[in-house]
Amino acid sequence: MTDNDAFSWRAIKCSQQHPPQYYSRLGEKFLHTTPHGKDLNMQLLSATCASAKIGLEYQDILLGDIDRQLIHSGVISSLADSVSGLAVFCALPQLETIATLDLRLDHMRPAVANQDLIAQAVCYRLSKQIAFTHALIYQQRHAPVAVASATFMRASSRQNFMQQALDSEL
Amino acid sequence: MQQPSLKAAIARAQQQRDYTALIDAIPYAKYLGIKMQQQDDALQFLLKFKPQLIGNPMLPAIHGGVVAGFLEHSAILHTIIAQQSATMPKLFNFSIDYLRPAAASCLHAKCELVRQGRRVWFMRIKAWQEDSAKPVALARAYLILQ
């Protein structure tokens, strides 16, 4: 183990493995049943056990500073919240409703116009009540725009909109 | 056609208290539908509900990222108006605690400038819906002035 390993965030190993297509279906449903994700046109890039990656194509409405052509930091928050939530859904043995308790963002450099955004997240700890996530948002892989950490409360309500969406498909 | 400049909009907002033009000059704030008003010397921010802002359609609740974005933007606008210079502050650190789900109705926000340093400002932001004693979220932000 190198010193650097202490700083990398690893997705938990899921106790109950789902088939690979379960995660991609879950990811697609998640982005399509969330009106805000759909409105911004968030796209699923990949989803697997306890981790997820979504993309957001650049569009002019995302700008926060038209003089310097920079994307608004609020866009990054939306992406961070969505991708972190999806990573938790991908870590759960069965679907349950989750609620974001807190979200913390470090905006390391501005996101620029005309480049798509990519957000990836892992759920690195899933306890009985709480899920912990870490996310990275970037335009160029080697130069992250922001890092985010979040915690989610599990089973926040009995009804799960994702479950309904998946059920209605069958 | 000349592009509207953000700098010009900021200057106008500070001189004439014309905040609509300032919001219109920020595409993402316009997309979310953020409004801003002066209420007995304090700035207050408003996010009108629209279906595109929903994150959880079952409750229904406003997307957590939208609440965060709204509060981040409130902090930025508050700084712009308070700092009296026509530049856009840079928000580099933001943290939000979600206390209650944000229902499908108007969101209000108010900022408190806690520490006004020479280069860095620290702010607390509160969001509520019907009752300001029952906040939906509390956030904090660090901004660099430029």
ipTM of the complex as predicted: 0.91
Q: Shortest Cα distance from B12 to chain A (angstroms)?
A: 15
**Minimum Cα–Cα distance from A106: chain B residue:** B93
Token duo for residue A149: 């950490």
Q: Shortest Cα distance from B37 to chain A (angstroms)?
A: 20
* CA-wise closest residue to B98 among B124, B74, B128: B128
CA dihedral defined by A39, B131, A74, B42, rounded to 10 degrees? 130
pTM of the shown model = 0.91
User: What is the CB neighbour count within 10 angstroms for residue A112?
Assistant: 15
> Residue B101 and residue A75: Cβ atoms within 8 Å?
no
User: What residues of A are in contact with residue B6 (Cβ under 8 Å)?
Assistant: 65-67
CB A88 within 8 A of CB A157: no
Token duo for residue A116: 């798509």
Can you give the pLDDT of all 146 residues of chain B as single tens digits? Answer: 345 688 888 888 888 877 888 888 999 999 999 999 887 778 899 999 999 999 888 888 999 999 999 999 999 999 988 887 778 899 999 999 999 999 999 999 999 999 999 999 999 999 999 999 999 999 999 999 97
> Residue B63 and residue A36: Cβ atoms within 8 Å?
yes
> Residue A106 and residue B92: Cβ atoms within 8 Å?
yes
